[in-house]
Amino acid sequence: ILNVEQSPQSLHVQEGDSTNFTCSFPSSNFYALHWYRWETAKSPEALFVMTLNGDEKKKGRISATLNTKEGYSYLYIKGSQPEDSATYLCASPNSGYALNFGKGTSLLVTP
Amino acid sequence: DAGVIQSPRHEVTEMGQEVTLRCKPISGHDYLFWYRQTMMRGLELLIYFNNNVPIDDSGMPEDRFSAKMPNASFSTLKIQPSEPRDSAVYFCASSPEGTGGRSPLHFGNGTRLTVT
């Protein structure tokens, strides 16, 4: 089973700050890296699926990069807003087709 | 598209009782996953199906847990007998293909189970 690790565990920033989190995963037998956003009392929703080394994806103020050789991905949020408050999960497939999730980074953005 | 539908949303039961959680995946999705969310272990995979066939159930904690998918539009996760340590949020998710590819998971709203 792949160990997907995320840091920091939690983060508290002020509105307008930019922030980033890290996801690390074993670089051998890499297949894909997923990012999900999980708001309180809701279900996780997919942000990005990344498969290529050097890949960079963007959705509004949120972007992600991928380094498959060293086994890490960064998620960036530019100009954080209170509505960005959520837990951000990354995940990578095991040898089959099921995702192994990290424990997430809990982000709180205060006005 | 109604998305992945889970029922019930909340379940409170006493230790020793049987609990059945239900899931309707998105139509056309060939993969169905059951996950459990706890504070200690995060989101952990219990079992997944491909075309109604269980592929990997190594995450099922013990024999008290069982899952079935009798057809493409319905799956159940059963716990018998339930124990307080089974208290968690159980998520069902579906995908048009294995998530090893480019397809993200689509999650249901989860069932919050409390066993007293």
Reported as a single tens digit per residue, the pLDDT across B45-98 is: 999 999 999 998 989 988 999 999 999 999 999 999 999 999 999 999 999 876
Instruction: Give the pLDDT confidence of B19-52 residue by residue, as tens digits.
Output: 999 999 999 999 999 999 998 889 999 999 999 9
Q: State both tokens at B82.
A: 């339930």
Phi then psi for residue B85, to 5 deg, are -70, -10
CA distances from A92 to A36, A89, A102, B66 (A): 11, 10, 9, 25
Determine whether the interchain pair A44/B109 forms a contact, defined as Cβ–Cβ distance below 8 Å. Answer: no
pLDDT(B113) > 70 = yes
DSSP conformation class of B103: P
Determine whether the interchain pair B108/A43 forms a contact, defined as Cβ–Cβ distance below 8 Å. Answer: yes
Q: How far apart are CA B68 and CA B2, in angstroms?
A: 22
List the single best residue of A23, A31, A97, A103 to mutate versus B (max B Cβ within 10 A): A97
pLDDT(A2) > 80 = no
Q: Are B112 and B11 in contact (CB under 8 A)?
A: yes
Q: State both tokens at A17.
A: 């700050």
